[in-house]
Amino acid sequence: MEMSEDEKSAVKQTLPQFIPKFKGKKVVVRLISGGQPVTGTLEAFNPYEILLQTAKGQLLVFKHAIATIEIADEPRGYKPNL
């Protein structure tokens, strides 16, 4: 089933605007379930998932499972101009 133009427009409007700025950058992702944070380069994304390139290979993370995402190389407390 193909999406109508209205549906495509709605998906584009709901996409968080900061994620495209993270593409190609090293990020730290903390999951809602806890555990160790995941560090990797943000390779790709869509409205539901992000793809990270980690030291152990590619990792697909569902956005609804993410608690926080931040640039890994920035000092703590740094607020980028998003």
Q: CATH number, domain at 38?
A: 2.30.30.100
Number of domains the chain is built from: 1
pLDDT in tens, 4-56: 666 555 555 555 578 888 999 999 999 999 999 999 999 999 989 999 999 99
Q: Please determine, for residue 71, whether its predicted confidence score (pLDDT) is greater than 60.
A: yes
24 part of a folded domain: yes
9 part of a folded domain: no
Give the model's pLDDT for residue 42: 96
Range(s) of the domain holding residue 42: 17-71
CA distance 41 to 52: 5
CA distance 25 to 7: 30
